[in-house]
Structure 1
Amino acid sequence: MRLGLHALGIGTGAHRAVIDAVAVAADRHGFATLWAGEHVVMVDRPASRYPYADDGRIAVPAAADWLDPMIALSFAAAATDTIRIATGVLLLPEHNPVILAKQAATLDRLSSGRLTLGVGVGWSRDEFAALGIPFARRTERTVEYLAAMRTLWREEVGSFDGEFVAFDDIRVNPKPFRAGCIPVVFGGNSDAALRRVATVGDGWYGFNLDGVDAVAERIGVLRGFCRDAGRDPAEPTVAVALAEPTIGDIAALVAAGVDELVLVAAPREDPAEAGDWVGELARRWLPDILDATPQERSQRSEH
């Protein structure tokens, strides 16, 4: 199992010097992925319930800095050599898919193929309203946008004729670092989100899950949907962030089939201390993750 870090783009993680320090330290200490999420709009009195907290309220203050993840991750990629970068998650139906296809391919090319595009359908009616995008049928819009983007990544001259997006014989360059391929993982913990992973996704990013049992149950549902879709249940990758992770969870997460445990935390505000903070996380978590046995990993196929 790998260890990821979701710490960039918000609050103290929105400062250039802190991004550099965290990214460099995470790369040096053996973290697998740097994650950054997205909200274009925050409001003081949201009309929609936040789906990843029992009280329905997002923990990030409305007035906090929240960087565009594609731009923030481009700085992280420029400061590093090997660590992967991932949007966790970008709200796909809020973007023009032709522009986003170019932006993602650009970042993937400049980072030598290190981008994972994590996407979601969105939950905030306020945000969609501010952007002038219909909240209704956002799932259908997301699936179609992704199909259009993959067409542009794959084809030298691409055409697409859908309900929400259409183009004819266009060239969008650059192409991804690996021909036609940027891994796309879906966020969301609901059955509907897991069904999207099984049918059109390369992986799942489960967020703020309440313990190992919840993770194992959701992975079981995902594998059932994969079988229904005629897909190998072990094919989609699985990254999860727990609400309160512990070192003792590692063996059970490996056995359940988790590929990456993502730590969600705010870095130190002082850039000189931010790198040390990453090192402390690595010394606490990575030895146990790296010691996860092949026998535990092999249990993945039995669940």
Structure 2
Amino acid sequence: MRLGATLARLGPGPPIAIGEWAKRLAGEGFESLWAAQVIGRGFLAPDPFVALATAATAVDNIEVGTATLQVPLHHPADLAHRILSLRAVCGDRLALGVSPGSTDLDYAAFDRDYRARFRVFSENLPRLRHLLELGRDDQADLAPPGQAGCPPLLLGSWGANVERAAREFDGWLASAYRRDPDQIIAAHQRYRAAGGRRAIVCAIPMSATDDLGPSAEVLQRYAEAGFDDAVVLIGPEGPDPARVRALLP
């Protein structure tokens, strides 16, 4: 199981210097760096496009990804343009985690209908895919064919969408921020049974205390369950990234 890390804190506190943080994580051997789209919750989580572009210019040869972009908050052409712009910086290192969203505060900030998020996600996704793959459609001409291309699409969602991730996407993102390991591993079994490919458990909180034993046990459970990647959430206050990286040889 590969080990990645998030680039920004998901709670109150001063912002992280993303370029330096990316260099430190890459130097300790983390294999991927991820940024979430979190808006309107009373703290600043940097825009994932800004965070990933910064990280991609700071470090070479490491995967960067969104975990996740809330598709219904954006017009599909605007979102496609932003993704293609990020891909121009990151190249083939970019993985694209997308979701309907899970927090009503984000929708309130954009004056969008939270209850309609699953419907809007399904309506907007086909056009987004088309624009990413071809760079244009009947309404928008965003990029010539040589500059277009759809990154691997990973679905971050639960319920019946676990099987949808297996059928229609390149992978599945399971958030450990609001689910416990038993729930995540049970959903992973459903994902694999439906033919799912890459499975990533993300935003795994790491304790800032000196005792990393419980964190090591959680990572081992995910590895034994067959996850391809684990993405940990480390705050600037600790624990030390080198110690976390050593938990998964």
TM-score, normalised via structure 1 length: 0.69
Task: Specify the alignment match of 2:86 in structure 1.
Answer: 107
Secondary structure (helix, strand or coil) at the match of 2:18 reads: helix
CA distance in 2, matches of 1:265, 1:4: 10
1:176 offset after TM fit, Å?
A: 8.2
1:247 deviation in Å?
1.7
Residues of 2 paired with 1:176 and 1:118: CA distance?
A: 23
- Count the aligned residue pairs: 239
How big is each residue's C-alpha offset from its partner over 1:251-299, in whole Å with a ceiling of 9 and x where there is no partner? Answer: 432231111111112224xxxxxxxx68x323x2434533xxxxxxxxx
Residue in structure 2 matched with residue 266 of structure 1 by the alignment: 235
Q: CA separation of 1:175/1:186 partners in 2, compared to 1, >3 Å: closer, same or farther? A: farther
- The structure with the larger Rg is 1
C-alpha deviation, 1:98, in angstroms = 0.7
1:107 deviates by 0.9
Could you report, residue by residue, the CA deviation over 1:171-208 in whole angstroms, capped at 9, with x for unpaired residues?
Answer: 2216687x6331121223x3133133123222122112
* Consecutive unaligned residues in structure 1, runs of 5 or more: 43-61, 159-167, 227-232, 269-276, 291-303
Counterpart residue number, 2:60: 81
User: Once the 2 structures are TM-superposed, how far is the Cα of residue 157 of structure 1 from its aligned partner?
Assistant: 4.2
Q: What aligned pairs does 1:237-256 form with structure 2 within 5 A after superposition? A: 237-242=199-204, 246-256=215-225
Structure 2 Cα separation of the partners of residues 126 and 114 of structure 1: 31
Say whether the 8 Å CA contact 1:7–1:13 is kept in structure 2. no
Give yes or no for contact 2:171–2:196 (8 Å, CA) kept in 1.
no
Instruction: Name the structure 2 match of 1:32.
Output: 31
Give yes or no for contact 1:186–1:197 (8 Å, CA) kept in 2: yes
Q: What are the Cα deviations for residues 80-139 of structure 1, in whole angstroms up to 9, with x where unaligned? A: 112221111221100111111111111112112221111221233343244232223311
RMSD: 2.6
From 107, 113, 116, give the equivalent of 1:128: 107
**Bigger RCO of structures 1 and 2 (CA < 8 A, at least 6 apart):** 1
Indicate conservation of the 8 Å contact 1:38/1:66, yes or no.
yes
Partner of 1:170: 140
- Cα 1:13–1:103 shift into 2, 3 Å: farther
Pair 1:196–1:41, CA change in 2 (3 A): farther
Gaps of 5+ in 2: 207-213
Shift of 1:214: 3.0
- Pair 1:281 & 2:241 matched: yes
Kept in 2, the 8 Å contact 1:92–1:120? The answer is: yes
Q: Is the counterpart of residue 143 in structure 1 residue 117 in structure 2?
A: no
Contact 2:135 2:144 in 1 (8 A): no
